[in-house]
Chains A and B, each alone.
Chain A
Amino acid sequence: MSKDLKSMEQEHANRNSKTFAEHLEQNGISRRGFLKFCSSMTAALALPAGSADVMAKALAAARRPTVIWLSFQECTGCTESITRSYSPTIENLIFDFISLDYHHTLQVAAGQQAEEAKEHAMKESYGKYLLIVDGSIPTKDGGIYSTIAGRTNLDLLEEAAAGAAAVVAVGTCAAYGGLPMAKPDPTGAVPVSALVKDKPIMNIPGCPPIGLVMTGAIAHFLTFGRLPDMDELGRPKAFYGDSIHDRCYRRTFYDQGLFAKAFDDEGARKGWCLYELGCKGPTTHNACATLKWNDGVSFPIESGHPCLGCSEPNFWDAGSFYEALSVPQGRTGETILKAGAIGVGVGAAAAALNRSNKSAAVEGRETITVEDLKRES
């Protein structure tokens, strides 16, 4: 076992000593392919023209940084998204120019060996490594609802965050709490940002996020040595700056007032706007409508399904996915009936008061004679 560890350390050292350019060469990737990758990345990040060269230079010279990926209360969907969707395109290479030293789904090592690898990497790259987290962190009852190797997520995050250069919260669970936080939130789930206060944090929300968005944001970090510009929800503006609605190819139907009213109606077949079927595109910020999924094949709305709003905080508690944004949640009829009953009750009381008030005025009136018309004379 100590031999294994030693050879791992050796390999790790070798890998990290190579520049990305050397690594590419070793893996048989042409310079042309690399440049193409850089330009598509800069385009995705909406960086100015010419940035592709900057990125190419920076990446070519970059030492592959250590990345530690911690998975907490999650479903592994984020990992699925980042690994499976693009293979074998060049995006996968992002994992070749970082050193993913710990990821309990992807790594070969398991058990104690895996934990040791993580400890080693953290010690080796203390203060420099990138910490990626997917999943929310349970805090109730001391955080006992999710543990790895006998330690709570709470404990693991605290330890790993201490030595991180920056933290990337991947997926809506890590970014905003996600489904584990949905009512009644039995585990007291919180997002990374609720616990880590002294490190730069970037949120890559989505359930799951688009693979290219994850790799793009990381490429930005590697190119410029800092996290990209982010919005007030900690999301890279390059990918989350626009709403789905604003970039949606069906927007024109919204503007014309043409809406599908059922999943199988004429409007649905004609590809009309899905607003009335509950599309949350207007309030959802993500790159689905532009980058799309599965290597640009499609995205939910293009496939005929309304946007669920999965990259927004609280989307899990925002009511039915299939009710229009303009429709209030809850039983409106019941509210009207209840308020109506109270209104009738109070109204009847006010009416009784009015009636007695008025009949007092009418009956208390004295008959007026001419003499009564003259004031002090």
Chain B
Amino acid sequence: MEINELLIWARGPAFHWALAIFVFGMLLRLFEILSLGRKPDLSAARDSGVSGGLRTLFTRSLPRPAIFSREPLRILNGYIMHIGLFVVIFLYRPHIELFGGAWSGLPTGVVDAITAVTILSMFVALLMRFYSPVLRHISTSGDYLAWLITLLPLLTGYLAYNHLLLEYTQMLTYHILSVELLLVLAPFTKLTHLFSFVLSRWYQGYLAGRRGVES
């Protein structure tokens, strides 16, 4: 297939299939989770579970000093990676267009630099997974797959923008296809955490809130 045809396919039918699988898969996962239900807690609440749940949604994004002091690099790297991904996905104008274009972005050059840092953080994360005994012990093939499908869009985007390795149209096409791969696989890997974190933090925060416990 000639590259322009592939690009049209990637921007058209392939995107729609990938998006459909993403939406379908995430909904399926959501139903799978919620269907297991939760018994009402009959103990007398000391405080509000709802406000605890809402609070925990945010507080778990903050570093906890007792843990941070033990693994500062891993936690910092996690921030860099997540903030980097957020910036790259949501603050780059051409990507914003994809979401309807309703907000303003950062200068493209800045996004480019952040992409480079984010890619770097991905490799730092990989090295940690290789060399930390804990991470090696608990890592599964799914972790490496999730890593790869997250890296590919970043890498191809960076290479395309900077005209490296392949001609721009080709790299752009592979970039779009790699995003589609990510969409297709996300619901079936640990990347489900991009929505399920709301549920897990909520449940934990709700429990902690009822008990009047910090969370």
Check A-B contact in the complex, CB < 8 A. Answer: yes
Residues in chain A near residue B127, CB distance under 8 A: none
* B25-42, CB < 8 A from A: 25-28, 30-32, 34-37
Contact of B7 among A318, A327, A352, A358 (CB under 8 A): A318
Is B163 engaged at the interface, CB distance under 8 Å to the other chain?
A: yes
| B5 and A314 contact, CB distance less than 8 A | yes
Given known contacts A255-B107, A343-B28, A335 and B168 CB-to-CB distance under 8 angstroms:
no
The closest CB in chain B to the CB of A323 belongs to B97
Complex Cα distance A329/B176, Å? 13
Residues in chain B near residue A358, CB distance under 8 A: 36-37
* A293-352, CB < 8 A from B: 312-315, 317-319, 324-330, 332, 335-336, 338-340, 342-344, 346-348, 350-352
The closest CB in chain B to the CB of A254 belongs to B108
| B24 and A342 contact, CB distance less than 8 A | yes
Q: Give the interface segment out of B11-19, B52-60, B115-123.
A: B11-19
Contact of B16 among A275, A325, A327, A328 (CB under 8 A): A328
| B24 and A326 contact, CB distance less than 8 A | no
| A257 and B108 contact, CB distance less than 8 A | yes
Is A283 engaged at the interface, CB distance under 8 Å to the other chain?
A: yes
Residues in chain B near residue A339, CB distance under 8 A: 19-24
Complex Cα distance A327/B179, Å? 13
The closest CB in chain B to the CB of A233 belongs to B2
Complex Cα distance A295/B93, Å? 34
Contact of B94 among A326, A343, A354 (CB under 8 A): A326
With both chains docked as a complex, state the minimum distance between the C-beta of A276 and any C-beta of chain B, in angstroms: 6
Number of interface residues of B (CB under 8 A): 45
| A326 and B27 contact, CB distance less than 8 A | no
| A343 and B109 contact, CB distance less than 8 A | no
Residues in chain A near residue B31, CB distance under 8 A: 343-344, 347-348, 350-351
| A355 and B37 contact, CB distance less than 8 A | yes
Is A69 engaged at the interface, CB distance under 8 Å to the other chain?
A: no
Complex Cα distance A108/B12, Å? 48
Contact of B172 among A275, A325, A342 (CB under 8 A): A325
| A347 and B93 contact, CB distance less than 8 A | no
Is B4 engaged at the interface, CB distance under 8 Å to the other chain?
A: yes
Is A259 engaged at the interface, CB distance under 8 Å to the other chain?
A: yes
With both chains docked as a complex, state the minimum distance between the C-beta of B61 and any C-beta of chain A, in angstroms: 26
Residues in chain B near residue A9, CB distance under 8 A: none
Is A243 engaged at the interface, CB distance under 8 Å to the other chain?
A: yes
Is B95 engaged at the interface, CB distance under 8 Å to the other chain?
A: yes
* A350-368, CB < 8 A from B: 350-352, 354-355, 358
Is A18 engaged at the interface, CB distance under 8 Å to the other chain?
A: no
Given known contacts A283-B169, A317-B8, A346-B24, A326 and B35 CB-to-CB distance under 8 angstroms:
no
Is B98 engaged at the interface, CB distance under 8 Å to the other chain?
A: yes
Complex Cα distance A354/B33, Å? 9
With both chains docked as a complex, state the minimum distance between the C-beta of B115 and any C-beta of chain A, in angstroms: 14
The closest CB in chain A to the CB of B15 belongs to A328
Complex Cα distance A330/B14, Å? 11
| A261 and B24 contact, CB distance less than 8 A | no
| A283 and B28 contact, CB distance less than 8 A | no
With both chains docked as a complex, state the minimum distance between the C-beta of A104 and any C-beta of chain B, in angstroms: 31
Is A246 engaged at the interface, CB distance under 8 Å to the other chain?
A: yes
Contact of A350 among B4, B12, B32, B168 (CB under 8 A): B32
Given known contacts A282-B172, A325-B172, A355-B37, A340 and B2 CB-to-CB distance under 8 angstroms:
no
| A256 and B11 contact, CB distance less than 8 A | no
Is B106 engaged at the interface, CB distance under 8 Å to the other chain?
A: yes
| A330 and B93 contact, CB distance less than 8 A | no
| B25 and A326 contact, CB distance less than 8 A | no
| B24 and A328 contact, CB distance less than 8 A | no
Contact of B4 among A282, A314, A326 (CB under 8 A): A314
| B36 and A246 contact, CB distance less than 8 A | no
Complex Cα distance A335/B169, Å? 26
Q: Which of A254, A326, A344, A351 counts the most B-chain CB atoms under 10 A from its CB? A: A326
A residues bordering B, Cβ < 8 Å? Answer: 243, 245-246, 254-257, 259, 261, 275-276, 282-283, 312-315, 317-319, 324-330, 332, 335-336, 338-340, 342-344, 346-348, 350-352, 354-355, 358
Name 14 interchain pairs, CB-CB below 8 A, sorted by A.
A243-B169, A257-B93, A257-B105, A276-B101, A318-B8, A328-B12, A328-B19, A330-B16, A340-B23, A343-B27, A347-B28, A347-B32, A354-B32, A354-B36
B residues bordering A, Cβ < 8 Å? Answer: 2, 4-5, 7-8, 11-13, 15-16, 19-28, 30-32, 34-37, 93-95, 97-98, 101, 104-111, 163, 168-169, 172
Query: 7 extra interchain contacts, Cβ-Cβ under 8 A, other than A256-B109, A257-B108, A328-B16?
Result: A257-B105, A282-B169, A335-B16, A339-B22, A342-B20, A347-B30, A355-B37
